[in-house]
Amino acid sequence: MTVPPPDTAFLRRRNALWQDLRAATPGTPAFERLLTQLSDLIRWDRARILAGLGLPDEPLPPIPEGAAP
């Protein structure tokens, strides 16, 4: 089974989001909004997108003692 190529509008939107994300400051609301939009579009998780940008994934907060994981 072959997968049809993505349409031009999808590619333009994807590329624009990557470009805007590279220009945004990590940790700002704009960066987070762009990251979420790109994640929704290409179905990659946060860690994978951040790795694609050469950025470390932010560590998760520790689970409090006695809390179920």
Provide the pLDDT confidence category of residue 33 given band limits of 50, 70 and 90: very high
CA distance 16 to 38: 9
- The pLDDT score that the predictor gives to residue 7 is 92
Q: Which helix (H) or strand (E) holds 48?
A: helix 46-52
Cα angle 24, 59, 46 (rounded to 5 degrees) comes to 50
CA distance 1 to 14: 24
Core vs surface per residue 23-48: b (16+ CB within 10 A) or e: ebeeeeeebeebbeebeeebeeeeee
Average the pLDDT over 11-15 and give the result.
96
* pLDDT tens column, 34-69: 999 999 999 999 999 999 999 988 655 555 666 554
Question: What is the value of pTM for the model shown?
Answer: 0.74
Provide the pLDDT confidence category of residue 3 given band limits of 50, 70 and 90: confident
Q: Is the pLDDT of residue 25 over 60?
A: yes
